[in-house]
Amino acid sequence: MKHQEKLLYLIIGVFALSVMFWYGIKWVVLPPDNATVIYNWTVKDTTGHVYTRREDRSIPKILSQDIPPGIFVYTATVELPLLTGEGTDYALVISHPAFQAFRVYIDGVLVGSVGDMASGRSNIWNGVFYFPIDRSFLDKDTLSVEIRGYALYIHGFDIEPFITSMETARRYFFVNRLFTDRVYNWAIGASLTVGFSLLVLIMLSRGVSNKKYPYFALASLFAAIFYMDYTVIDCLPVPYILYKKVIILSAMLATYFIHNGVLAVVYGNEKKPRSAQILSALVWVAAVIDLIVGYDMVQFKKIYAYVNLIIPLVFVYDAVVLFSRYSQAIETGREMSILLFGMVANSFFVVIDIYQLVREIYTSGYTILISTYGLMIFILAMNFALIYDYILVYRRAMRQERTVRELKDISQKDSLTGAYNRSYMSEILPAVHGDVCFLMLDIDHFKRVNDTYGHTVGDKVLKHIVSVINMQVRSGDIVIRYGGEEFLIILFDTEMGIGKVVAERIRQAVESSIIIASGYEVHVTVSIGVCCGFIGEDITKEAIWQYIHKADEYLYIAKESGRNKVVAGECPTT
């Protein structure tokens, strides 16, 4: 199948998924079929003007510059009886109110209040609330409902208020909370976990991790802030416009870091296309506009509804870039395809929301925002992609380790002791990086052993020393016969403190051992020089030799100061 056909099928499938998801959420949040929906409201705005909303119903309307923010009074009369069945308890349900706060009155009696009615420092627009109706209110022919809502920039209801049985109200409340607060709280926690986990991974990798990790880490953290806009907060510590600017700014920054993370996946260290750089700059421009423009919520609402159009543009661009390159990748094709699915889904979800927000300015209609679900899908896809990337990195590390082991086996070894000979150093030094300790070991008075017992016993001593060293070091460490009775020990992933402990352990093991050879009991000791340091991947062989020579200098000091000692000191810095 051609790649263009794959992209077409992916776009069609994800588009169908996004539309089905939107209709599914809409079906969940719309009033139940057996509910009494309150469509017609008499509205008194903050100027004292009174009008009836029937044709456009009570769908949210943005405030004009002539109407200041404040308390809007919505009143309606409901004909009784509501439903058939005696003994049924009822509740008034208000879902997704387009107010910062509101109070509910039934027949002039206050039955509930939500949010900060004094200054509008609340974020309740995505909440679902229900208020039980006392049976005494149902003894008349009509029921008077009054809602006093504090509006900063829009007023009305995303979903028409309705009256239904208490059982239905509770079920509606549970299902909607499940798809709103619960999902968003999970998304906040998941995004924070992913973000901080990636940051920890970056710190542990000592700067050698791929650039995509810091980008995706920051994207996850800013996405967590953005998700907070979809949670119910009864009392904000800051003015609502400042809170909203932080939310929109976080959305922009999450978009910026997602964009650059995708570019890092696709292009790696290659030069990025000019179009990608322009989009990055446009996101920053949009972020600055959102941050500094708009002195009130009415103006700011109109600004970010248009400025935020850059977000779907970036996501669509990233989806195209991912598709254009993932088929060319060998190992990362699967990673890119996972990201591609998440990016296309995210793009469609955001496009649907942007369309609704722009339409909301001019016409009436239900506004069911789903972009957060799209972002959740992308974050989830990003997690799977990073897991897949980790698996690839792990496999490469295993192959590298296997190659190193095979290289050890085929390299020349000292036929007497089994240690690697000095010629092996030219092959192993390029693979030496990270925290490394070099131990230079010399057998004390070895010439005296040869002169006293003969070379046969001397050979036994050399083999014994290597056997003792191998018992004290790990299988991944390297033991090299550096000279006649000198041995170089390379300890990987080891800092100075541990290196000195290992050296001392070797010295004590040799000192306490007895060598039986040709009927003689031979005791020997060793002197060891230790040099440790962090070696970067780009370091030269000559620089590594400086560590070895420094360990040799400390060995000389150990021998000159009485032998049978371990001496460690300062090492070269690279």
Q: What is the pLDDT of residues 177-212, one digit of tens each?
A: 887 777 788 888 888 888 888 787 777 654 445 567
**Can you tell me the distance from the alpha carbon of 570 to that of 532, in angstroms, rounded to the nearest whole number?**
8
Any idea which residue has 């959102």 for tokens?
290
**Can you tell me the distance from the alpha carbon of 65 to that of 32, in angstroms, rounded to the nearest whole number?**
36
Q: Per DSSP, what are the bridge partners of residue 521?
A: 516
Mean pLDDT of 534-547: 84
Q: Helix 212-227 crosses helix 371-410 at what angle (to 10 degrees)?
A: 160
Per-residue confidence band for 310, with pLDDT thresholds at 50, 70 and 90: confident
Rounding to the nearest 10 degrees, give the CA dihedral for residues 28, 83, 167, 138: 120
CB 569 within 8 A of CB 503: no
pLDDT tens, residue by residue, 88-132: 788 999 988 989 999 999 999 999 999 999 999 999 988 899 999
What's the alpha-carbon Rg for the chain, to the nearest Å? 36
Task: Provide the percentage of residues in the chain whose pLDDT is more than 70.
Answer: 81
**Residue 65, helix vs strand vs coil:** coil
Rounding to the nearest 10 degrees, give the CA dihedral for residues 233, 237, 241, 247: -60
Superfamily of domain 33-172: Galactose-binding domain-like (2.60.120.260)
Considering the domain 417-568, what is its CATH architecture? 2-Layer Sandwich (3.30)
Whether the per-residue pLDDT at 426 is higher than 60: the answer is yes
Considering the domain 3-28+182-398, what is its CATH architecture? Up-down Bundle (1.20)
**Residue 89, helix vs strand vs coil:** coil
Percentages helix, strand, coil for the chain (3-state, rounded to 5) are 55, 20, 25
Q: Catalogue the E-assigned strands of 318-460.
A: 420-421, 434-443
pLDDT tens, residue by residue, 124-174: 988 899 999 988 887 788 889 999 999 998 888 888 899 988 999 999 999
Domains of the chain by residue range:
3-28+182-398, 33-172, 417-568
CB 256 within 8 A of CB 310: no
Selected residue with higher pLDDT from 86 and 402: 402
**Can you tell me the distance from the alpha carbon of 396 to that of 165, in angstroms, rounded to the nearest whole number?**
61
Contacts of 519-525 spanning 24+ positions with Cβ under 8 A = 520/453, 520/457, 522/449, 522/453, 522/457, 522/460, 522/461, 524/443, 524/444, 524/445, 524/446, 524/449, 524/461, 524/465, 525/443, 525/444, 525/563, 525/564
Selected residue with higher pLDDT from 527 and 158: 527
Same fold, 3-28+182-398 and 417-568: no
DSSP label at 412? -
Whether the per-residue pLDDT at 364 is higher than 70: the answer is no
DSSP label at 110? E
pLDDT of residue 330: 40
